[in-house]
Amino acid sequence: MEKIRAAVCREYNAPLQIEEVMLREPGMGEVAVDIEAVAICHSDISFWQGGFGGALPAVYGHEAAGKVIAVGEAVVGIKPGDSVCVTLIHACGHCTTCQSGKPTICETPVDNLTGSPIETPEGEPVFKAMASGAFAEKVVVDQSQICVIPDDIGKDVASLISCGVITGVGAAVFAADIEVGQDVVVIGAGGVGLNAIQGARIAGARRIVAVDMLPEKLEVAKEFGATDTVLAEGKPWAEVKKILGRGADAVLVTVGVAQVYDQAPRYLGWGGRIVMVGMPHGDKTSTYSPLIMANQGQGIVGSKMGDMVIKRDIPWIVDMYKQGRLKLDELISGRWTLEQINEAIEDTKSGAARRNVIMMK
């Protein structure tokens, strides 16, 4: 066991505490990573608020990058010294969904409490949230969660790829399956929304309309590829239909607000689909009219982590970035230390941040 520092949650909605915890060596199929950067995602905040369940004490954080320091037995294609993205996508590789090419929705349960590699100095298990526990100096994760990346990419940028980038881009390219010339609405112009806009642009959308409550975020959305913007007040769907001349072919909801899901079908055109990306707390529900959606041939599909296959798709994302076809540096709102993590969380909660990154090195 090795002693490391981590931001530990001992009470929901209370400030995280920087503590020393114990981290074991990697076991069969596991990889130990020295974390250099970890971004704050709204899913981390939802866990911290108690909205996604789990257990306490816990270490959150799942959007990370660093260097491999050790590997367990049977690890293939990953070695100490490799620069890597660390994701929450824990895939067994043999269940029906994994075998069908959908590792983001692996059906095999993962025990992130009793099977956690983290414990307190007194020996109490610490919940490794989202199979990662990356608000820490080091992590031990399954090899399926790791993707090797070039050494010359900054770890602050690379950390964003691990969740926000693949979730947004993948939601547009894979889950929405946008075709050239189609019209797209992206609700929410935060970190994931901006990447969904980029994904829609890459897929060849004709019009990409960003909808958000903050005018300043809509201005940023234009920089990332939005052709039009609509302020989320009154009846924004009516404004969108004026712009498009009809309803949208795809509506990507990137905010975790149930009320927004209630409104999402209003943006749709005949034959369109809603892509559910943002995740409200578990006790929140939404409603829609089955009659209208069935009659107009519309659909709703969930998208977890952009339906990505990380060892296939992260290299593609990296290459797009290197070509200058994907904005990543511009996604970073601020860089913080581990000791500043509570301030960074509050800044993220305000809604103004694109992505805040905790720099460990």
Per DSSP (E only), the strands in 10-145 are 17-23, 30-39, 58-59, 63-71, 83-86, 118-119, 127-128, 138-142
Write the pLDDT tens digit of every residue in 269-326. 999 999 999 999 989 999 989 999 999 999 999 999 999 999 999 999 999 999 999 9
Is residue 171 domain-resident? no
What single-letter amino acid sits at 90?
H
Write the pLDDT tens digit of every residue in 253-264. 999 999 999 999
Mark whether 43 and 130 lie in a shared domain.
Answer: yes
Q: Report the predicted TM-score, pTM, of the whole model to 2 decimal places.
A: 0.95
- Interatomic CA distance for residues 33 and 347, integer angstroms: 27
Mark whether 88 and 10 lie in a shared domain.
Answer: yes
CA atoms in the 13 A half-sphere facing the CB of 341: 30
Mark whether 355 and 278 lie in a shared domain.
Answer: no
In DSSP terms, 71 is beta-bridged to: 31
- Which residues lie closer than 8 Å to 316 by C-beta, 6 or more apart? none
Question: Mean pLDDT throughout 26-44?
Answer: 97
Q: Using DSSP bridges, classify how beta strands 2-9 and 17-23 pair: parallel, antiparallel or unpaired.
A: antiparallel
Q: Which of 257, 284, 302 finishes a domain? A: 302
Q: Which two tokens stand for residue 115?
A: 């099977």
Mark whether 189 and 57 lie in a shared domain.
Answer: no
- Looking at residue 353, what is its pLDDT? 83
> CA 322, 313, 277, 160: dihedral to nearest 10 degrees?
-40
Mark whether 201 and 295 lie in a shared domain.
Answer: yes
Mark whether 45 and 138 lie in a shared domain.
Answer: yes
Q: Provide the domain count of the chain.
A: 2
Is residue 64 domain-resident? yes
Q: Give me the percent of the chain exceeding a pLDDT of 90.
A: 97
Contact 144, 287 (CB under 8 A): no
Phi and psi at residue 72, to the nearest 5°: -85, -175
Q: How many H helices and E strands in the chain?
A: 11, 18
Q: Map tokens 């609405």 to a residue.
A: 185
Mark whether 221 and 117 lie in a shared domain.
Answer: no
Mark whether 344 and 272 lie in a shared domain.
Answer: no
Mark whether 141 and 228 lie in a shared domain.
Answer: no
Average pLDDT, the chain: 96
Mark whether 215 and 349 lie in a shared domain.
Answer: no
Mark whether 203 and 296 lie in a shared domain.
Answer: yes
Write the pLDDT tens digit of every residue in 231-245. 999 999 999 999 999
| Alpha-carbon separation of residue 305 from 73, 150, 220, 236, 337 (angstroms) | 28, 22, 23, 27, 26
Question: Mean pLDDT throughout 84-89?
Answer: 98
How do the residues of the chain divide into helix, strand and coil, expressed in percent and rounded to 5?
35, 25, 40
Is residue 168 domain-resident? no
Specify burial of residue 286 (Cβ count, 10 A radius: 0-12, 13-18, 19+).
middle
CA-based nearest residue to 267, from 291, 300, 236, 295: 236
Q: Is the pLDDT of residue 188 over 80?
A: yes
Q: Which two tokens stand for residue 348?
A: 């993220």
- Looking at residue 352, what is its pLDDT? 77
Mark whether 213 and 286 lie in a shared domain.
Answer: yes
CA-based nearest residue to 256, from 232, 282, 234, 235: 282
In DSSP terms, 231 is beta-bridged to: 212
CA-based nearest residue to 130, from 53, 36, 19: 53
Q: Which domain holds residue 281?
A: 177-302
